[in-house]
Amino acid sequence: MQSLTDLKDNISFDDFKAEVLKDYKVAVTSRECSLLGRREVLTGKAKFGIFGDGKEVPQLAMAKAFKKGDWRSGYYRDQTFMMAIGELTVEQFFAGLYANTNLELEPMSAGRQMGGHFVTHSLDENGNWKDLTKQYNSSADISPTAGQMPRLLGLAQASKIFKEFENVNAAKFSVNGNEVAWGTIGNASTSEGLFFETINAAGVLQVPMITSIWDDEYGISVHAKHQTTKENISEILKGFQRDKDNKGFEILRVKGWDYANLIETYIEAGTIARNEHVPVIIHVTELTQPQGHSTSGSHERYKSGERLKWESEYDCNKKMREWIIESNFATNETLTNIERTIKREVKQQKTKAWNTFLDPIKKERNELVTLIHELSKSSSNSVFISKLKETLEVISEPTRKDILSHGRKALRYVIGESTLESTKLKNWINERFKAIQHEFSSHLYCETDKSALHVTEVKPAYNDTSELVDGRIIIRDNFDAIFSKHPETLVFGEDTGNIGDVNQGLEGLQAKYGELRVADTGIREATIIGQGIGMALRGLRPIAEIQYLDYVLYALNVISDDLATTHYRTKGRQKAPLIIRTRGHRLEGIWHSGSQMGGLLNLIRGVLVLVPRNMTKAAGFYNTLLESDDPALVVECLNGYRLKERLPANMGNFKTPIGVVETVKDGSDITLVSYGSTLRLVEEAAKQLTTVGIDAEVIDIQSLVPFDIHHDIVKSIAKTNRIVVIDEDVPGGASAYIMDKILNEQNAFEFLDSAPKTMSANAHRPAYGNDGDYFSKPSTEDIFEFVYDVMHELSPIDFPKLT
């Protein structure tokens, strides 16, 4: 798009005037949506509202510099920008506010996110990539403050990768790396650590990233004096400013109500970032928030009368209006007519969106009313059932909760009655539940043929010359094969590049494939994950290395809030198949024990959690994942890199199946289930148990999420009638998750002759040293005695109590 100066110089006055008035119409439309949106919440039609009023004009300027192929990573104030690039209509705005579950009508999230969270579709309905170079792109917003920043870094770095990688297929993803990643953030959210971590990393990496800081001096009710040193974020970021001797940022400042200078500033920023691959910060000051933070309160409670007066005078839409009149682009009468027309049109589109949302629900309500009426005529509880029908009929704006609640309550009155009418009602409720539940629960994981569950197992191949090597050699040689086979792959993390990771699993690969594909990073776990998310969104296949499983906690909010929800919150229209490589289980002490599995399992649903027992299994998982579209966390065994394994002959091609357990020892007396490093202890204990007449079956879980999709564990229990889950996590952690799967999903109760048991570590984190480990986590002796006690309870005569 052209700058204001370009427009003045290159087109006629009438055309330039038309461009300005077009922008003004977008700003007025956006403001009217905010005003009406708040009313819809306060009248009960919508649950919550958070809007972009007061930020309209700078977003118009941003849209003028934003080109097809570019990416946005912003937050919930950016509705004007989305309207300006043609990716949000008024009807869609209100469909989002009402949580319409129809993706065609509400393309931002199909009602899964509150309004104000924006996205464009990178995938078609079959999960195939669209041509991202020919459309404006927005990654899917999340609510957590500054949560958009780590992803922004990766979106920008992808341009650098595409520009400098020669062999990667950039079709549909990039045109010579010329794309800019545009981020937006509120001034108060710059207090978050994620903001500073991202800014520092972008300065180091020198990527085409532009960050707009919308500064209205408040963070909800808290003034900037409590948020930011010197009350000025660009002032304290001065040390990042580049100069002739040092790389860094270009930092620009502009007033948020100054339409002409905003456009010049954004064009300048876009040119710098696009042409020089230099990150830019635009500090947009003197902005306002006319309706306060959200519909949860009023800003009159915490802003002074003087401040409110200033905000009224410096409202960016008002100042743009004044500038238009002063510049003789339009008269007050002309603008008033424009505003009246827009007010009427927005109201009409709002009404249309509401009716489109409500009409299908009313239709379902009417269907149920008929079914309940017919039920009442055939039941002895007719009076009570008729009352339900009457209460449902009079609800003028029903929800699906209202409808199904009434239907389910009606069924209670016909318990024991078997009639055609009750059967019809049951079937209707079941059909509606199935259909509606899918609208809210689909696409947590990939649902196309690119699902990891559809990748066929390929076993490691061995021959007479297959030698025993350290496990790290298998990982290293497999990554070598991966980088040769998949030019879109790259790996990065702390100590990943120059020394080939702390356990030498990438030894020599940076020298072979270059510093961009096998890269060192700073100590900044959150943005390591963010880099991976952003690059995966743009078609690359990143492998983000977190040095130890314990350190994943530093990135947990990014994995949980962003990565794990990407496919779900876009209803399958964006994907980020990032592979997170880490290592854990049994090393030393409180901070390097690597056993946070219970927390991870509950917090990162949407990400596969894979726990291979050795490096061959781990390598097979990487090969499988690169054939699929699901993001995953792979936890290698920290104490397994020096253990000997046979070297497969088909590096890069063997694949470990996901969601499939493996029986590593057959047995008939009891089923022992475990994973990772602990499995080796279980195998040793099982071997020792045979000396006292106990034949244990040992099963390696391998994949915690998804879990045992073929229900092989319950098949084992049907044979042994006993189960012990052995885990090095805290009590109630991963062992509780595993037992829930076995008992509640696989229905193992019917086969049990003994109480199901879990054996875990102590509640505290592991103490340091060999003795600390021995007294903190299950040992071979602990496992032997625990299993023996289960058999003793079954048959004290055959298995006398251990002394």
∠ CA 544-546-548 to the nearest 5 degrees? 155
Tokens of 786: 């625990």
Give the pairing of strands 632-637 and 209-214: unpaired
| Helix or strand run (H / E) with residue 263 | helix 259-276
* Distant-in-sequence, close-in-space partners of 691: CB < 8 Å, separation ≥ 6: none
510 Ramachandran zone, left/alpha/beta (phi>0; psi -120 to 50): alpha
* CA neighbor of 614 nearest in space, from 638, 633, 590: 638
CA distance 641 to 644: 8
Query: What distance in Å separates the CA atoms of residue 6 and residue 26, rounded to the nearest whole number?
Result: 21
Token pair of 48 as six digits: 């919550």
Give the ranges where 471-610 is alpha helix by DSSP (H): 471-485, 509-513, 525-537, 556-561, 566-569, 597-603
Determine contact, residues 407/428, Cβ cutoff 8 Å: yes
Q: Cα(150)–Cα(211) distance, rounded to whole angstroms?
A: 12
- Comparing CA positions, the residue from 153, 258, 158, 256 lying closest to residue 197 is 153
- A 10 A CB-CB count for 145 gives 18
Active site residue 592: yes
731, 760 contact by CB (below 8 A): yes
Cβ distance 538 to 490 under 8 Å? no
Q: Which sign, positive or negative, has the C-alpha torsion 170, 173, 175, 178?
A: negative
**Where are the strands (E) in 267-343, listed by range?**
280-285
Both tokens of residue 699?
């099963």
Angle between helices 780-794 and 676-689 (to 10 degrees): 50
Residues 6+ apart with CB under 8 A from 228: 187, 188, 190, 191, 236
- What is the Cα–Cα distance from 574 to 572, expressed in whole angstroms? 6
Half-sphere exposure of 598 (CA within 13 A, CB side): 16
Catalytic residue, candidates 223, 592, 710, 792 = 592
Q: Which residues contact 309 (CB under 8 A, 6 or more apart)?
A: none
The torsion region of residue 223 among left (phi > 0), alpha (psi -120 to 50) and beta comes to beta
Q: Half-sphere exposure of residue 533, counting CA atoms within 13 Å on the CB side?
A: 31
Query: Which residue bears the tokens 């993390």?
Result: 493
**Kind plus residue range of the DSSP H or E element containing 273:** helix 259-276
First-to-last C-alpha distance (Å) of the chain: 83
Compute CA distances 73 → 238, 405, 636, whole Å: 23, 39, 32
Q: Which amino acid would we find at residue 287? A: L
| DSSP letter string, 500-531 | -STTSTTTTHHHHH-TTTEEE--S-HHHHHHH
Which residues are registered as beta bridge partners of 638?
A: none
Tell me if 207 sits within 8 A of 157, measured CB to CB. Answer: yes
Q: Which residues are catalytic?
A: 592
